[in-house]
Chains A and B, each alone.
Chain A
Amino acid sequence: MNLNQNHFELFGLPARFDVDPAQLDTRYRELQREVHPDRFAAAPDAERRVSMQLATRVNEAYQTLKSPLKRAVYILQLRGVDPKLETNTAMPSEFLMEQISWRERIEAGSEEPEALLRLQAGLRDESRKIYETLHGQLDERRDDEAASQTARMLMFYEKLDEEIGDKLAELET
């Protein structure tokens, strides 16, 4: 495997945000069938080592391409753009207000699993809309600046989703 290949090349897929999940899964399985350490358990050390490295690499690529946020960031990085997820916190005030509202609703519902699950469903609907926007910005208009901003927004949504998950986990213990 050429270690200079990017994740898309490794998977034989076009470097687009719009990825067919079924095709991604199929490619992933095809690749793991060839490189997974279980195929080399009886092989010489050198092959076992290479197999572990490659299987690790395939897993990393798959995780990156599977997650919409990671995929968007990865595409931007391939284009030499740093979306500054952690450092650029200048978000539109409207968006920040919305975030506060989400947070309040999560706080208010934190004792009821049903309320939290409803919020999570709503949050995921919003996220799907953002994927559409990213698709337009990254694949069609190639507006990397705007896509960076959208990716930062998506990160906020993912954090909220994670928080709901943590709260649900707490309720279960």
Chain B
Amino acid sequence: MALLQISEPGQSPEPHGHRLAVGIDLGTTNSLVAAVRSGIAVVLNGHDGHALLPSIVRYMRDGRTVVGREAEAELARDPRNTIVSVKRFMGRGLKDVAHAENSPYDFLDSPGMVQIRTVAGVKSPVEVSAEILKVLRARAEEALLGGAGGELAGAVITVPAYFDDAQRQATKDAGKLAGLNVLRLLNEPTAAAIAYGLENAAEGIYAVYDLGGGTFDISILKLSKGVFEVMATNGDATLGGDDFDQRLFCWVAERAKLAPLCAEDTRLLLTKSRVAKEFLTSSAEARISASLTSGETVDVTVTQREFQDMTRHLVAKTLGPTRKALRDAGLDWSEVKGVVMVGGATRMPHVQQMIAQLFGQTPLNNLDPDKVVALGAAIQANVLAGNRASGDDWLLLDVIPLSLGIETMGGLVEKVIPRNSTIPVARAQEFTTYKDGQTAMSIHVVQGERELVSDCRSLARFELRGIPPMVAGAARIRVTFQVDADGLLSVSARESATGVEAAIAVKPSYGLTDEQITQMLRDSFDHAREDVHLRALKEQQVEGGRMLEATEAALREDADLLSAEELAALRAELEALRKTLSCTDHRTIKSAVERVNRATEAFAGRRMDRSIKRALAGRKVESF
């Protein structure tokens, strides 16, 4: 089928009225951007003719940043300032970073997330990722808008299904920092399932086995009458092709009896190991030769058999999560109709063999494992942006990969939302005080499957103050956990016994505050000499335009749900908004948008009500 067509940059833009949205696979090793053009999902190439952008960012002394192949070329020469596999650091503290001591980077432990000191200053993984996203955004704008200016309606960015809340939040922040309107964070195996399922009109139970550069996911999905329902997911957010390179590198260093290497030589040999690994996919042996800065030379040959033996334990590490996912889905091996292979690392023959053996069937390899995730994301982005065509009546139901809980007495975890719950999901839990007159209580939110708090990831700690003094056990504090369709958590709490509300919304401690993001954006714009105000104005104009368009569409369908007065009031607000769009102060537009928002609150509820009634009456609403 035509799903894998690659388009040239700078082709003519889409017809008017089509809202341009892209799917981005922000990978550990490579990143891609794809879009739906004339009804077909295509990966967009860069100027160099390549679809894959190496996820490598080099920071220069003069403040310039180089991304992709150009950065890759300097990798062995400038390892400290050339960041590879930054995805492994997203939302992670220093203690979570494996082999930090062997890494060339000058890590800086900071609350929440590790940072890297470069010649251009201290950079957070979010900023590094944003550099990659900016390049992809520019690529998409040029290809889709033909350099004619204008804005992308938004982007879907993919994340490993097994990413926890901190990693997801970091990814979304990176998107915002790159100036993208992030429509959704989409799980990578789910994106692959969309691309595969729609192309092959697949029905039944499918497993998606996704071994990427730095992460492993296994998702079990039920595909039925246009519904993609994730039944269970599992994985290992610290296992991927990188580990195979590392293993081969160690083997080579041992075989060549090398003394401990400097950062430059380490990087050089790691790159050679990766090339050898890829070569071994279709060859019986590979030769690794290099001249090191120390004057030593390396010349080692590795056979496919040797490579497979030394990395078999890494493949075996994927089997446990795979079994668990299947059991969580309540299924037997025989019920799985197909196993879709995703991620460059699944090209390795011994991965294919082990999975074939486990499932008792030959895995499906008819999609390009490097591109299928970006293509699925593009298809989803197109629909989310509002370009739902008649054939796009499919629905995606995804899950949260890891349980959410809170700390209770003795450092134990009380699970509040179990793993594999379909999102969006909310759960409320009541707490009480244990001392007379207690007016504050601290709540610690964690994510993970283990019983001890210390074995789970700490997501947020917050204090609830202003509880009215009462006898122990009399206060009723209701804490609500809400996980949205991006898999992101928000927590709010209130005291309900006395009617005194102490409601708070929690921004998890690891995340960036909106002010921080604004500041980062400002810094980057200063650097690029772009006018911050102009940018904000443009954004608000787009937002205002979106709001007008969406509300008018809603009115065309359901204006009868409003009384004459309500309709007149809403129309007046819309007219006011329309007038502000041509003004030059973004705050004026923003407040007009907010007024329309408030004016449509009740309307939104009634519209939803009507569509549910239609659904229950068994009628299809095509024009939603």
Residues of A within 8 A of B607 (CB): 47
Residue in B closest to A173 when the chains form the complex, CB atoms = B320
| Interface bits B368-380 vs A (CB < 8 Å: 1, else 0) | 0000000000001
- The complex places the Cα of A62 from the Cα of B618 at a distance, in Å, of 18
A59 and B615 contact, Cβ closer than 8 Å, known pairs A47-B600, A51-B608: no
Q: Count of B residues near A, CB < 8 Å?
A: 54
A49 to chain B, nearest CB (A): 8
User: Are A59 and B425 within 8 A (Cβ)?
Assistant: yes
B250: interface (CB < 8 Å) = no
Find residues 608-624 in chain B having any chain A CB closer than 8 Å to their own CB: 608-609, 611-612, 614-616, 618, 621, 624
User: Are B395 and A46 within 8 A (Cβ)?
Assistant: no
A133: interface (CB < 8 Å) = no
Residues of A within 8 A of B618 (CB): 30
A56 and B425 contact, Cβ closer than 8 Å, known pairs A38-B184, A172-B320: yes
B550: interface (CB < 8 Å) = yes
Q: Of A41, A59, A165, which is within 8 A of B327 by CB?
A: A165
Residues of B within 8 A of A51 (CB): 608
At the interface with chain A, which of B120-128, B205-213, B382-390, B506-514? B382-390
User: Are A45 and B324 within 8 A (Cβ)?
Assistant: no
Q: Of B324, B393, B424, B603, which is within 8 A of A52 by CB?
A: B424
Q: Of A42, A50, A169, which is within 8 A of B604 by CB?
A: A50
B454 to chain A, nearest CB (A): 18
Q: Count of A residues near B, CB < 8 Å?
A: 38
User: Are A44 and B424 within 8 A (Cβ)?
Assistant: no
User: Are A47 and B422 within 8 A (Cβ)?
Assistant: no
User: Are A41 and B597 within 8 A (Cβ)?
Assistant: no
- The complex places the Cα of A30 from the Cα of B226 at a distance, in Å, of 11
- The complex places the Cα of A59 from the Cα of B621 at a distance, in Å, of 20
Interface centre among B393, B605, B624 (most CB of A within 10 A): B605
Find residues 405-438 in chain B having any chain A CB closer than 8 Å to their own CB: 421-426
Residues of A within 8 A of B393 (CB): 33
User: Are B611 and A55 within 8 A (Cβ)?
Assistant: no
User: Are A45 and B485 within 8 A (Cβ)?
Assistant: no
User: Are A41 and B183 within 8 A (Cβ)?
Assistant: yes
Residues of B within 8 A of A68 (CB): none
A43: interface (CB < 8 Å) = yes
Residues of B within 8 A of A (CB): 19, 153-154, 183-184, 225, 227, 319-320, 323-324, 327, 380, 383-386, 393, 395-397, 421-426, 482, 484-485, 546-547, 550-551, 554, 596-598, 600-601, 603-605, 607-609, 611-612, 614-616, 618, 621, 624
A-B pairs with beta carbons under 8 Å apart, 27 shown = A2-B609, A31-B615, A32-B395, A34-B608, A36-B396, A36-B397, A36-B485, A38-B384, A38-B395, A41-B385, A41-B386, A42-B154, A43-B550, A43-B604, A44-B604, A45-B597, A46-B601, A46-B603, A47-B607, A49-B604, A50-B604, A52-B424, A54-B608, A56-B425, A60-B425, A169-B327, A172-B323
Residues of A within 8 A of B (CB): 1-2, 12, 27, 29-39, 41-47, 49-52, 54-56, 59-60, 62-63, 165, 168-169, 172-173
